[in-house]
Amino acid sequence: MTTTDTLLAPAKADQFGRAVAMRLSSGSAELPYEVRERLRAARVRALEARKKPAFAPVVVGRGGSAALALERAWLHRLGSVLPLLALAAGLVLIHTIQTDDRASELAEVDTALLTDDLPPAAYADPGFVQFLKQSGRGE
C-alpha cells in the first residue's frame, strides 16, 4: 500500500458507506410504516449512544460507603508509613547495639591493660611486640 492509497482509503470507505446507506434508504420506502419508525428510532438511539461518554463519573456521597472509603484511605496511608517507621526504629536499634558492643570491647581492652603487670607503654614499643611474638606469648 502506497502513501496515496493510505490517503484515499478513508475517502473510499466514506464513499462506500454512503452508497450502502442510499441503497438501504431506497428500500425502506417499501417497508411498512411501523418498521420504518422502529428503524428511525434505532438510528436515533445509536447516534445518542455514540455521543455519550464511555463511562459515568463516580459521585461519592456522605453515606456509609463514603465513610468506609475514608477509613480505608487512612488504613492505606498507615500501611505505607508503618514499614518506614519500623525500618527507622530498626536502624536506631542496630546503631545502639553496635555502639554498646564497641564500648564493651574497649572496656575489656582497657581493663586488661590496666590490670596487667606491664605498663601500657610497653605494648607501644615495637621491640617488645617482637619479643612477645618470638616467645609465643603474643598469640
- Give residue 73's Cα distance to chain centre: 16
Cell of 28: 425502506
In tens, the pLDDT along 58-81 reads: 665 555 555 555 567 777 888 888
Residue 139: band (very low, low, confident or very high) from pLDDT cuts 50, 70, 90: very low
Look up the pTM and report it.
0.36
Q: For residues 135 and 118, what is the distance between their CA atoms, to the nearest angstrom?
A: 16
Farthest-apart Cα atoms in the chain, separation = 126
